[in-house]
Amino acid sequence: MIKKSKKSVVLLGLSFIFILCVSAFASDLAEFEKASINWRQKEGERLLVGMNKHGFTDAIQQFLPEFEQLTGIKVTLDVYPEEEFRKKRLVTMAGGGGIYDVFMIDQALYQYAEAGWVEPLMTYIENPDLTDNNWYDFEDIFDKARGFGEYKGVFYALPITGEAEILFYRSDLNEEKGLAVPQSMDELYENAKKLKSDSIAGIVLRGQRGWGANVWPWSGFLWTYDGRYFDADDNPAFNSPEAVAATEMYAKLLIDAGPQAPASYNWYEVQSDIALGKAAMGIDTGMFMAVYEDPEKSEVAGKMGYITMPGVNGKKSVPNFHYWQIAMDPKSVHKEAAWLFIQWATSKNILLPVAVKNGTAPRASIWNNEEFLSKYSKEWAEASSQGLASADPSLVPYYKPEFSEFGEILSIAISDVITQTKDCQEALNFAVEETKKILNK
């Protein structure tokens, strides 16, 4: 008899705890249930989502149990590092797809769209049974970000991050040397030279070859100097006088005021050099800020300043930008369930904690959100959002599926200029010639 009552006490206690837990979840779910759609309409289905390692992925992993609670859909995340995931995603889709229902994607989106490997999403967004736009607020997403997910007028992917190319500098070193924050490229160059010493580089920039390496920040220079990837007749134009000027400045900064081996610098080296006090300035993605301000990861927390890229000739700069996105496999057999997941993952409630943790977001409302802004310096938030605003997606070369090919050739040219192996005009001319050959194939 005693045993029985012990049992029931335990049972009672457990169910009490259980109710507590459920109500804890329930209060979070309440946010989602404000949407007027039936989240449970695809209950019981399973999804496989391919992602690369990213702050976003970590956050989603954390919130997955909530999603399952909300919808009854079981989701498995398959996570790989960026380069490996690109390979795997490619092999999977080239092999016929049908494995990942949803996957993360970047500039390769246009290649994939051309090949028919991504599902158009507009029908899902406009379907009132699947999407409550009052709640979801599609328009809240930066229109530039939305444009980034379009190819030939069809919308394929939703953005999950938003980052812009900005300038970071050591405000303490500037003070020491009595330098003002550079407003133009020429000022940047002068400052960098003055800041350079035996123990610290004046500025660091990506120099390593790769269509995703030095080309990314270099593009910001190209556009700021009023250069273009393609001219009005769609001919490659990155050997124009403007492009040459941009490249010469890029190289000058590295050769005269940069680190010892700039041609080996990818984003990681740029980030680390500054974080460990080996470089005074850098131009790269605003997301680095999250690392710089973390004392566990950097020695310069609290000493950094952030501002938009310097301009040229009194004009504002046109920085580069990036949005990671998620898309759907057209061969998926769980398309509606996949859409529910995508909608959930790109909703305000999920993107906000991601933004707070990682300093990146594609939604205007988040950039104005108190919680987000309070965590990061106002200066940085201004620099980043201004950067995102001045960025111009129409200039981006990714829309041509051949981008990875001519991008690589361009990156080799830039690398050659940085190592002073080739003269600037000569290197860019060669790149343009090769690009023409590629585009005519």
Partner 1 sequence: MSLKRRVDALAMPPRWIFSPIIDNYIKVFNSQDFTRFYFNSILIGLFTILFVLIIGIPASYTLSKMNFRGKKDIDFWILSTRMAPPVGILIPYFLIFKNLGILDTRASIVIMHIALNLSFAIWVMKGFFAEIPKGIEEAALVDGCSHWRAFIRIILPLVAPGLVATAIIVFLFSWNELLFAVTLAGNASKTVPVALYNFVSYEEIDWGPLSASAMLALIPVLVFISFVQKQLIKGLTLGAISK
Partner 2 sequence: MAPKTHMKKNNTLNLENKKFIVTSLAPALISLILITVVPFVINIINSLRNYYLADPKGPTFVGLENFKQILFNDANFWHSLWITLLFTAGCILIEFWLGLYIAGLLSSGGTFRNIIRSLLILPMAATPVAVSFTWKIMYSPSLGIINYFLKLFNINGAAWVGDPKIALLSVILVDVWQWTPFMMLIMLAGYMSLPTEPFEAATVDGAKDWHIFRYITLPLIKPVALTALLFRVIDSLKTFDIIFVLTRGGPGNTTETLNLYTYLKGFSYLRIGEASALAIIFLLIVIAISQIYLKYAGLEFGGSN
* Residues at the contact surface with partner 2, assessed by CB under 8 A: 86-87, 90, 94, 111-112, 114-116, 201, 207-211, 213, 259-265, 269, 272-273, 276, 278-279, 401-402, 404-405, 408, 412, 415-416, 418-419, 421-422, 441
**CA dihedral defined by 29, 31, 34, 38, rounded to 10 degrees?**
-30
Minimum distance from residue 214 beta carbon to partner 2 (Å): 9
Nearer to partner 1, 91 or 154 (CB): 91
The one segment of 93-101, 233-241, 397-405, 420-428 that binds partner 1 by CB under 8 A: 93-101
Binding partner selected for residue 401 from partner 2, partner 1, none, CB under the kind-specific 5 to 8 Å limit:
partner 2
Q: In this chain, which of 231, 299, 423, 433 binds partner 1, going by CB under 8 A?
A: 299
Please report how close the Cβ of residue 108 comes to partner 1 at its closest, in angstroms.
Answer: 14
Tell me which residue of 153, 250, 145 sits closest to 203, measured CA to CA: 250
Pick from partner 2, partner 1, none: which does 288 bind, CB < 5 to 8 A by kind? Answer: partner 1
Beta bridge pairs of residue 141: 363
Residue 298 touches which of partner 1, partner 2, none (Cβ within 5-8 Å per kind): partner 1
**In which region does residue 72 sit, left (phi positive, over 0), alpha (psi from -120 to 50) or beta (all else)?**
left
CB of 275 to partner 1, least distance (A): 8
88 binds partner 1 (CB under 8 A): yes
Other CB atoms within a 10 A radius of the CB of residue 114 amount to 15
Which of partner 2, partner 1, none interacts with 208 (beta carbon under 5 to 8 A by kind)? partner 2
Q: Nearest CA to 157 among 115, 213, 117?
A: 117
Rounded to the nearest whole angstrom, what is the least distance from the CB of residue 163 to partner 1 in the complex?
A: 9
How far apart (Å, rounded) are the C-alpha atoms in residues 138 and 125? Answer: 8
Is 172 near partner 1 (CB under 8 A)?
Answer: no
Tell me the DSSP string of 22-76. Answer: HHHHHHHHHHHHTSSS-GGGGTT-EEEEEEESSHHHHHHHHHHHHHHHHH--EEE
Which does residue 55 bind out of partner 2, partner 1, none, counting CB within 5 to 8 angstroms by kind?
partner 1
Residue 320 site contact among partner 2, partner 1, none (CB < 5 to 8 Å, cut-off depends on kind): none
In whole angstroms, the minimum distance from the beta carbon of 182 to partner 2 comes to: 22
Query: Nearer to partner 2 by C-beta: 41 or 404?
Result: 404
Q: Is residue 186 at the binding interface for partner 1, with CB under 8 A as the rule?
A: no
Q: Which long-range contacts (CB under 8 A, 24 or more apart) does 314-318 make?
A: 314/184, 315/224, 315/226, 316/390, 317/220, 317/223, 317/224, 317/390, 318/220, 318/223, 318/224, 318/390, 318/391, 318/392, 318/395
Q: Which does 287 bind (CB under 5 to 8 A by kind): partner 1, partner 2, none?
A: partner 1
The encoded tokens of residue 72 equal 């009854």
Does 331 bind partner 1 (CB under 8 A)? Our answer is no
CA distance 345 to 175: 43
Give the one residue of 60, 70, 99, 283 binding partner 1; rule: CB under 8 A.
99
Comparison of 79 and 395: residue with beta carbon closer to partner 1: 79
Residue 156 C-beta: closest distance to partner 1, Å? 21
Q: Which stretch binds partner 1 (CB under 8 A): 26-34, 63-71, 76-84, 201-209?
A: 76-84
List of E strands, 276-360:
279-285, 304-308, 321-322, 325-328
DSSP symbol at 283 = E
Count, residues near partner 1 per rule CB under 8 A? 36
Confirm or reject binding of residue 198 to partner 1 (CB under 8 A): no
Q: How far apart are CA 222 and CA 165, in angstroms?
A: 13
CA distances from 192 to 25, 256, 336, 384 (A): 52, 9, 53, 22
Between CA 231 and CA 396 the distance in angstroms is 12
Burial bucket for residue 60 (CB in 10 Å: 0-12, 13-18, 19+): buried
**Cβ of residue 169: shortest distance to partner 2, in angstroms?**
17
CA distance 212 to 243: 19
If one asks whether residue 287 binds partner 1 (CB under 8 A), the answer comes out as yes
Which residues lie near partner 1 (CB under 8 A)? 52-55, 76, 78-82, 84, 87-88, 91-92, 94-96, 99, 267-268, 271-272, 275-276, 278, 285, 287-288, 291, 295-299, 324
